[in-house]
A and B are shown apart, each in its own frame.
Chain A
Amino acid sequence: MAYSEKVIDHYQNPRNIGKLDKDSKTVGTGLVGAPECGDVMRLQIDVDEATGIIKDAKFKTFGCGSAIASSSLATEWLKGKTVDSAMEIDNMEIVEELALPPVKIHCSVLAEDAIKMAINDYRQKQGLEPIEDDKKHY
Chain B
Amino acid sequence: MNLPIYLDNNSTTPMDPRVLESMLPFFNENFGNASSRNHSFGWNAEKAVDDAREQLASLIGSTSKEIIFTSGATEANNLAIKGVYEMYGSQGNHMITVTTEHKAVLDACKKAEKSGAEVTYLSPNEDGLINLDELEAAITDKTILITIMYGNNEIGVIQDIKAISAIAKKNGILFHTDATQAVGKIPVDVLADGIDLMSFTAHKMYGPKGVGALYVRRKNPRVKVTSQMDGGGHERGMRSGTLNVPGIVGFGKACELCQQEMESEATRLSAMRDKLEKELLTIEEAYVNGNAQHRLPHVSNISFKFVEGEGLMMGTKDIAVSSGSACTSASLEPSYVLKSLGLDDELAHSSLRFGLGRFTTEEEVDFAIDHVKTAVNKLREMSPLWEMFQDGIDLKTIEWAEH
Contacts and interface: CB of A to CB of B under 8 A. Distances in A.
A137 interface: yes
In the complex, which of the residues A31, A36, A42, A65 has the most CB atoms of chain B within 10 Å of its own CB atom?
A: A36
B383 A64 contact: no
Contacts, number: 95
Contacts of A67: 308, 311
Interface centre among A62, A65, A68 (most CB of B within 10 A): A62
A63 B346 CA distance: 11
A62 B327 contact: no
A71 B46 CA distance: 64
A62 B332 contact: no
B306 interface: yes
Contacts of B401: 31-34, 113, 117, 138
B387 A33 contact: no
Interface residues of A, number: 36
A54 interface: no
Given A35-B395, A38-B332, A68 B382 contact: yes
Interface residues on B, range: 20 to 34
A80 interface: no
Contacts of A35: 346, 385, 395, 400
B330 A34 contact: no
Interface string B363-400: 00000000000000001011111110000000100001
B345 interface: yes
B403 A64 contact: no
Contacts of A39: 308, 403
Contact of A64 (B311, B387, B400): B311
Contact of A40 (B309, B325, B385): B385
A63 B329 contact: no
B403 A138 contact: yes
A62 B402 CA distance: 14
B175 to A, nearest CB: 38
Nearest to B383: A62
A103 B402 contact: no
Contacts of A60: 382-384, 387
A17 interface: yes
B314 A11 contact: yes
A120 to B, nearest CB: 12
A36 B403 contact: no
Nearest to B401: A138
B382 A14 contact: yes
B382 A1 contact: no
B384 A64 contact: no
A37 interface: yes
A23 B176 CA distance: 62
Interface of B: 306-311, 314-315, 325, 327-330, 332, 344-346, 349, 379, 381-387, 395, 400-403
Given A34-B402, A64-B308, 9 more contacts: A32-B403, A34-B400, A35-B346, A35-B395, A40-B383, A61-B383, A62-B383, A62-B386, A138-B403
